Every structure is written in C-alpha cells, then in structure tokens.
Structure 1
Amino acid sequence: MSFAVRNDLRGWRAVDGPDDLLGDEHYSEEQPELPVSIGASEVDAERDRRIDAGVMFQGVMYQSRATDRENIAGAAQLGFMAVVAGAQPGDLRWSNPGEDYAWIATDNSLVRMDAQTVVAFGKVAAERKQMLVFAGRDLKDSSPIPVDYADDKWWP
C-alpha cells in the first residue's frame, strides 16, 4: 500500500512508508485532497438518468425510457387526431370502440384516459424532458460545474 508525502519543491508523490522519504518530505497516511473537476459527460449522464427515471402525470408515475417516450409521443399524436376528428372529453373508447383506452403506470396499474388526457400526458412528458435538457445545459455552462451537480436542487 502506498501513502502520500509532500515535498514543497516536487509536490505530492507516493511512497511505501516513512523509510522512503527524501530530505524535506513530510510523511502522511492521508491522501492529498485534489480539486474535483466535473465534466460535461457526468452532467449528461445525470440528465439522461433523470429523463429515463419516469414522468409524473396527474399524480401517477409512468416509465420514461426512450421506447416509453416514443410510445407516449405516438399515443399523444393519435389522441390529438382523435380530438380533431371529434372525440369528446370522457370518451374512453376514442381509440377502439370495443375497449377503454388505458396506459400502464409504473406500479403496473391501468390508467384509463380519454383522447384529451393522452394529449396532455404527451405534452407533460415532452416538457419534462425539455426542462431536464435545459437544466443540464445550465450546469454545463457553469464554471466550474458544481461538485453536487446531481443534487435535486439543480434539476426540475
């Protein structure tokens, strides 16, 4: 196991113990505290984790991974077309006259939705992703990027 030593002329270096010291070096078993530098890739990873972590809509959590977002956007598009074609609020059979339209929540429950609700769901999901993208951009524009960049206080 190596330990850190400080030499005022040469900076920090690793040694195996006090017997490896040279001249004016000071032995310490503590590692030097190096400045932490957060890069854009760490912020991007946290942003992506949050985008994929789910989206809350009307008090219910839904999955929001890439395929989920694709499905939500497609359903919202179908819902919008149904509204334009005359689907009425409260009509749960707007997509298929034989059964109520429902979306599966993260707790595996079925949440019935009319076309207007599906459109609103799609809007909330898209807005959530956009807010996270812009929060990540703001963090990456910081100089330096805060060490606690993953803290909820930086994210919507």
Structure 2
Amino acid sequence: MTSPSSSSAFFVICLLHSLVATTCGALMMFYMKEIYVFGHGNEIATKLLGSTPHDQLLIRTSDSFSGMLLVGIGFLLFMVSFVKDRDFQSFFAKGCTILHVFMALWRFNFERRVEDLAWDCLRQTVGDVLLALSWVFFLVYSWREKYD
C-alpha cells in the first residue's frame, strides 16, 4: 500500500519539475532573444542568435522545437505526478536522477568548451545537479519510510 507522505512528496516534486520545464519551454519558444540578452548580455546574445538570416532562422527553429520538447516534458511530468504506485515512483525517480546527472556531465564536458557559453555552463550544471538531488532526496525519503 502506498503511504500518503511518499506519494505527496512525489506529487510535489513532479509538479515543481513540471512547472520549471513548462516555463523554460514557453520562454524558449516565444522569448529566446530576451532570454539570451538577460542571461549573456547584448554582445554574446548577438553572436548566439546568428549572423546571417539563414543562421538566425535555423537557430530560432531549433530553439522553438527545444522549447516545445520541454513543454511536452512538463506535461508528461504533470501527468506522471498523479501515479500512486510506489514501485513506479521509485523507478521514475531513479531514471530522472540518471538523466539529470548525464545532462550535468554533458554540460561540464562539452558546453564549457564553447567560449560564449562557458560562464553560463557552471550555473546550468549546478542547476542540473540540484534537480537530480531533489529526486535523490525523494528516493532516500521513500526508502527511509519503507524500512522504518
């Protein structure tokens, strides 16, 4: 039988991750130029947005599809948040932890080599690690609850 506290912790974590993914995705689809300027400054944002109209179109299209993918992930997380099966919750949390750790490793190993993104890479890597830790805390909490 699923305990209410473990289930509610899973629900809250899924909703928070869903909110983050959906918000970031919507911002990527509709306000990417403003996000680049806010995060990197005017000079680097101009470089990141491309120099030719063809490059700019490709970058905007890529950002839009990436944003749409994040919105889809946000909706998926929202739907998964209502699952009450403890085994599925544990499996899902482990998968999300691995996904966030691999993303942090990818950022650290590859994205930091891009000169214009190197400053932002550390901040995003820390964010990925914190998102992974939220799932690890859920796993520890549910294991503690299971064996108490």
Normalising by structure 2, report the TM-score.
0.34
More contact order relative to length (CA 8 Å, sep ≥ 6): 2
Radius of gyration: which is bigger? 1
